[in-house]
Amino acid sequence: MSAERPTNLTINARFDMWLKFQADETVRVATGKVEIGQGVVTALSQIAAEELDLSLDQVVMLSGDSDQGPNERYTSSSLSIMDSGAAIRAVCAEARDLLLSRAALRLNCSGDQLSVVEGSFLVDGAASDLNYWDLAHEIDWSQAPEGDAKAKAAKDYRIVGQSIPRADLTEKLHGGAFIHDWLPEGVLHARVLRQPGPGAVLRSLDEAAIGRAAGGDIEVLREENFVAFVGADEAVVEAAAAAAPAHAQWDGAPVIDAAQQDGAWLRGQASDDRIFGAPEEAEIAGDRVQATFSRPYIAHASLAPSCALALYEDEHLTIWSHGQGMHPLRHNVADVLGLDNGSVTALHMYGAGCYGHNGADDAALDAAIIAMRMPGRHIRLQWRREEEFGFEPFGPAMLIDLSVRVDDAGRPADWTAEIWSPTHVQRPGSGSGYLLAAEALANPPDALEPWDPPEAAGGGGTRNAKPYYDIPNSRIHHHLVTNAPVRTSALRTLGALPNVFALEAMMDELAMKAGIDPLDYRLSLLSDPRAAAVLSAVAARANWAERGPGGEGRGVGIAFSRYKNMAAYAAVVVALNVDEEVHLEKIWVVADAGLVINPDGICNQLEGGAIQGASWTLKEQVQMQGSGVTSLDWDSYQILRFSEIPEIEVEVLDQPEQPSLGVGECSVSPTAAAIGNAVAHALGVRIHDMPLSRQRIMATLLEQTSN
């Protein structure tokens, strides 16, 4: 493994921010990353136990604690194992070396004579009466780790590489694990009446009518344009919130045209523009191939709505949240409420997974505002389903033009991607966005200029837009649209899914134009052997050679992507049938994530990513018109149902000598692209716009028949 100092270790430069040797002969290992259904905290415990030579039950994980844990910002971008895992590995390896050096002095032997089993020292293989906890108090754990200790070799692993059951699952499966289930004694329930949009002013509110609709005791808390309903009976508070919109009059509410919900609307809108890559189109005599692709706005669609608890007591605010970063949440809430960071504690609890920036942080501020005005009481704030669908930040719509010049052999020689997309990052404190309720309070924050993550961090709208294939010249024209009709922010893969959908569709079209099999065409353009390996492996598993000519309703498609062009590799084959809509038959996924910490955990992520990618490709679209979003329930916002999920076969290539690569998002985009290619194979004509809905399929079939 590389001895390069992990970035998160530089930011959190004390041993005791990561490790604590406890009196019960366990070691508390802290991480700023949190469990949102991806199994990462279990995997991190495996890394710690491995490097410290402990059993798993001797490691106690502390996750998402803004007071006691390291600041690792957000759990996002498939970076938990790459970043937090690298830091924990380095800290634990160095702590073990310090303890071994101390033990050698105590036992009057050389370090080479010592080994460790479950925290106890052995001398030449014989047990001693000394363990870590006997010596831990002799070491100054406030010092900064050097970060260069030699970690174990993969051949010596006992715990890393094993499918350890996830530590969070038992509690979740038996109920009561989630933040929604926690009811402290005397808790007060709360709901919020949302501004219909930034700048909307509440002209009137009929509190008496709302009280009658509630049918019980509630307290109405109002500050400027922020309105909350609070009471001991959750059903009464819910009834008040459901009735409130009909009894509120707003000035300055937005008006949205239905055309704004589609990616095509983005073309020509106000934008910040840039071009990067090869400076200009190469002068090539070959043919030009062009195509346009789009994706609509997508919701996180968490199965449970956002929820948070807050308590303001003794001039200290404590927040419990299922958000993705407790240190940023503490800072962002403190900033809105005029508190210093030391007066706020943010603690993570399990919630419905979101894989991006949904309403969790906004719900936390809602709860905190109320708690500050009702000291000494736990405030439990839960969003309504309509609120979750209507006011969370959405994954941006995107529009992509591809223009490719091919040489005489039919290979791409010059590639241009022109992309229109709103920002993919409006996390509070990012410089591009705010917590939602901040805009409803007195003195709302000034509008911020939107920005997108730089390409060095994987990009936002440009993520995976640069082909990983060997193409001599490529460039990206990026239009960061600044007047999106709704709030947008991070959603799993950011811009990678629409970009890979478009890129891999073009690869199929170029292969067909050249008269070459799509698999062979891709392999001829890949110099990275790991990329070629996942493609070859998935083709073998899916019996690609027998896929047939297509065009009669059954299709098989293939696609490849390396997430962010720097994380895990994934290749996907999808088999499906198309009549009036798409019916998935089977999905094959092969991935290379370098060193695998927990094989079952990776398989879970690859399977889940494939399902989510399929759902986005076939079903999902935020609908909006008039005063805002109109897809406010599970009937109007369709997702893939359990009955529609096909068999998924997963293989992870073994690369124990390679660094671990982020895997949580790598299967999503190539699954979408493989579905698009399989539908084109089935129909004999391509659908360029997501979702690949019944309406689009029928329109395509009718057009094909008429031609």
∠ CA 320-352-366, rounded to 5°: 40
How much of the chain exceeds pLDDT 90, in percent?
A: 92
Mean per-residue pLDDT of the chain: 96
Over residues 607-631, the mean pLDDT reads: 97
Closest CA to 40 of 157, 160, 166, 159: 166
Rounded average pLDDT over 445-462: 93
pLDDT, tens digit, 9 for 90 and up, residues 194-210: 999 989 999 999 999 99
Give the pLDDT confidence of 403-449 residue by residue, as tens digits.
999 999 999 999 999 999 999 999 998 888 999 999 999 999 988 89
DSSP 199-267: T-EEEEE-HHHHHHHHTS--EEEEETTEEEEEES-HHHHHHHHHHGGGGEEEES---B-GGGGSGGGGT
Q: What's the confidence (pLDDT) of residue 282?
A: 67
Tokens 């996942």 belong to 534
Residue 191 scores a pLDDT above 50? yes
pLDDT in tens, 292-315: 999 999 999 999 999 999 999 999
Residue 1 is predicted with a pLDDT of 40
Q: What pLDDT was estimated at residue 208?
A: 97
What stretch(es) of the chain map to CATH 3.30.365.10? Answer: 7-169, 182-252+301-391, 398-706
**CA triple 308-312-315, angle to 5 deg:** 145
> Residue 528 pLDDT > 70, yes or no?
yes
Output the pLDDT for position 435. 97
User: 473-481 and 271-277 as β-strands: parallel, antiparallel, unpaired?
Assistant: antiparallel
CATH topology of domain 398-706: Aldehyde Oxidoreductase; domain 4 (3.30.365)
Q: Decide if 226 contacts 441 (C-beta within 8 A).
A: yes
Task: Give the integer Cα–Cα distance in Å for 18 and 69.
Answer: 7
pLDDT digits (tens, 9 = 90+) for 4-31: 789 999 999 999 999 999 999 999 999 9
Q: What is the pLDDT of residue 447?
A: 86
Helical ranges in 108-156 per DSSP H: 132-135
Quick: pLDDT tens for 245-277.
999 999 999 899 999 999 999 999 999 999 999
Cα angle vertex 63, ends 61, 67, to 5°?
115
Placement of tokens 């050096």 in the chain: 101
Q: Is 567 within 8 Å of 78 (Cβ atoms)?
A: yes
Q: Which whole number is the average pLDDT over 469-493?
A: 97
- pLDDT range class, residue 700, cuts 50, 70, 90: confident
Domain 7-169 has CATH 3.30.365.10: yes
Q: What is the mean pLDDT of residues 352-380?
A: 95
Tell me: pLDDT of 543 over 70: yes
Question: So what's the pLDDT on residue 2?
Answer: 42
pLDDT at 175: 83
Residues 6 or more apart whose CB falls under 8 angstroms from that of 216 comprise: 231, 233, 235, 236, 239
- The residue-averaged pLDDT of 485-490 equals 96
Query: How confident is the model over 223-228, as a mean pLDDT?
Result: 97
Q: How many CB atoms lie within 10 A of CB 657?
A: 11
Confidence bin at 285 (pLDDT 50/70/90): confident
- Indicate the angle between helix axes 234-243 and 207-214, nearest 10 degrees: 140
Identify the residue whose tokens are 């041993």: 15
76-123 pLDDT, tens digit each: 988 999 999 999 999 999 999 999 999 999 999 999 999 999 999 999
Closest by CA to 478, choosing from 416, 431, 430, is 416
Element (H, E) at 591: strand 582-592
Fold of 182-252+301-391: Aldehyde Oxidoreductase; domain 4 (3.30.365)
* Residue partners of 248: CB distance under 8 A and separation at least 6: 193, 202, 204, 205, 206, 227
Residue whose C-alpha is closest to residue 309's, from 260, 345, 271: 345
Q: Which residues lie across from 359 on neighbouring strands?
A: none
Proportion of the chain above pLDDT 70, given as a percent: 99
Q: Are 422 and 398 in contact (CB under 8 A)?
A: no
Q: For 114-138, write each residue's pLDDT tens digit.
A: 999 999 999 999 999 999 999 999 9
With cut-offs at 50, 70 and 90, classify the pLDDT of residue 584: very high
pLDDT in the model for residue 286: 84
Cα–Cα distance between 539 and 548 in angstroms, integer? 14
For residues 596-616, average pLDDT: 97
The alpha carbon of residue 604 and the mean position of all alpha carbons in its chain are separated, in whole angstroms, by 15
